[in-house]
Structure 1
Amino acid sequence: MAVITIAREFGAGGKTLGTKVADKLGYTLIDEEIVEMVAKEANVSPDWVDSIAKETGSEGFLPRLIKKIGPYRKGYVGIAMEKNPGYIDGDLYISILHNIIPKIASQDNVIIIGRGGQYILSDHPNTYHFLMIAKLEHRITFMMENYNLNRKQAQIVVDKQDKRRLNLYRYFAKTDYNHPKLYHMVFNMDKVRMEEAVNTVVQLASGVSAS
């Protein structure tokens, strides 16, 4: 049994990789479901959680909050121990991720897309961390081909998500999110076909399961 985390530059195909690997291994893919889990933990609506997550990529509430009060007000432990807080902000969002992602991983046979899994589960046993990267043009083309977008739409989406990713990791107080030492493998999708990446992840995860 294994846990897989997939970090990615948006448009490099992280969810596609996760979906294909999950299908082959019979694993559970966890992506947007985390929004529901965070909402339940914070006792707020999923829409509120989603709005907080989205603002990590804009010059809105969350970046202003970071500049004003620093990365964490109470620390992970203090915030995570609050019972049914009935609100959500950037601090609580990140703190709850640190609380629920290990719980998800404890079930084994799961694939977690993004949300700092490579940091939160850095010491979790039987866990493989993968990073997917690609040149901007490749990522724009991928979005056009797989999500029925025109070029302008695809570029807007990729640019916006790149900013969200950057600001999310700033909120984690991390700047090394693309460093290869964090991962078991880095897939440069300009040079690797999706099926090659899928087969590689399946082979590694199967090796863990067989041990």
Structure 2
Amino acid sequence: MTKRIITISREFGSGGRFIGEEVANKLGIKYYDKEIIGQIAKESGLAPEYIKENAELSPKKGIFAYAFTGRDITGKSVEDMVYEAQRKVILDLAEKEPCVIIGRNADYILKDRDDVLNVYIHGDMPEKIQRICKLHNTSEADAVKMINDIDKRRMTNYNFYTDQKWGKAANYTLCLNSSKLGYDKCESIIIECV
């Protein structure tokens, strides 16, 4: 079956967002990343700023923040409500049109569909550090801290909501090292698989 939906999970600094955007452009399909934030905010009733900070990343406190965070009468935390809104938005987008969806556990949310290509982009630390230093105009030490912090928060969120291990090859159709392959090759491999 032809793959209509491409999900891209990625390590911070691997260029996964850039690769996804280029794949969408070359295929002439929609690209969803930060654009989803407004839809999730509308669905959840929470502020877009809150969604931007929390829809893909765990609280800075880590996994225990999920377990001990405040819950409403139904037992749901604010993070649970954000995740449910995010899930609904991603399911609706996948029904509506072919697209590339960056992060937000989309690979897991769409796991029961046959028309999804799940991609995980990772990279080697030296290249990721250089990329983050350039993009954020920061020192190498700050880049390492950003990479470690953001990836840890992505992993915690993913592991909590999916009961799977973030970055584990078995969870994805393709795992690509952007440092070894380069962005253009990653894009062409994804397009070929579609």
Please classify the TM superposition score into its range, dividing by the shorter chain length. 0.7 to 0.9
CA shift, 1:150, in A, is 3.3
Q: Is the 8 A contact 2:13 2:131 kept in 1?
A: yes
**Cα gap change, 1:74 to 1:13, in 2 (>3 Å):** farther
Q: Does 1:166 align with 2:168?
A: no
Partner of 1:195: 184
Q: Give the unaligned 5+ runs of structure 2.
A: none
In structure 1, what is the Cα distance between the partners aligned to 2:56 and 2:174?
Answer: 28
Which of 10, 14, 24 aligns to 2:16? It is 14
Partner of 2:54: 52
Q: Is the 8 A contact 1:71 1:172 kept in 2?
A: no
In structure 1, what is the Cα distance between the partners aligned to 2:73 and 2:128?
Answer: 36
Q: Is the 8 A contact 2:159 2:165 kept in 1?
A: no
**Cα gap change, 1:90 to 1:67, in 2 (>3 Å):** same
In structure 2, what is the Cα distance between the partners aligned to 1:113 and 1:72?
Answer: 30
One-letter code aligned to 2:68 = K
Deviations 1:69-123 (A, max 9, x none): 7999858xxx7xxxxxxxx811101111221111111123210000111111112
Partner of 1:27: 29
Q: Is the 8 A contact 1:57 1:163 kept in 2?
A: no
Correspondence 1:147-166 to 2 at 5 A: 147-166=136-155
CA shift, 1:182, in A, is 1.7
In structure 2, what is the Cα distance between the partners aligned to 1:71 and 1:116?
Answer: 22
**Cα gap change, 1:25 to 1:147, in 2 (>3 Å):** farther
One-letter code aligned to 1:19 = E
Which of 29, 45, 68 aligns to 1:43? It is 45
**Cα gap change, 1:181 to 1:70, in 2 (>3 Å):** farther
CA shift, 1:148, in A, is 3.9
In structure 2, what is the Cα distance between the partners aligned to 1:122 and 1:72?
Answer: 29
TM-score by length of 1: 0.79
Runs of 4+ more than 6 Å apart = 69-73
**Cα gap change, 1:96 to 1:12, in 2 (>3 Å):** same
- Alignment: residue pair count: 192
Correspondence 1:109-148 to 2 at 5 A: 109-148=98-137
Deviations 1:135-156 (A, max 9, x none): 3222112222444433233223
Alignment RMSD: 2.7
In structure 2, what is the Cα distance between the partners aligned to 1:22 and 1:121?
Answer: 18
- Report which stretch shifted further, 122-131 or 144-153: 144-153
Give the SS at the match of 1:197: helix
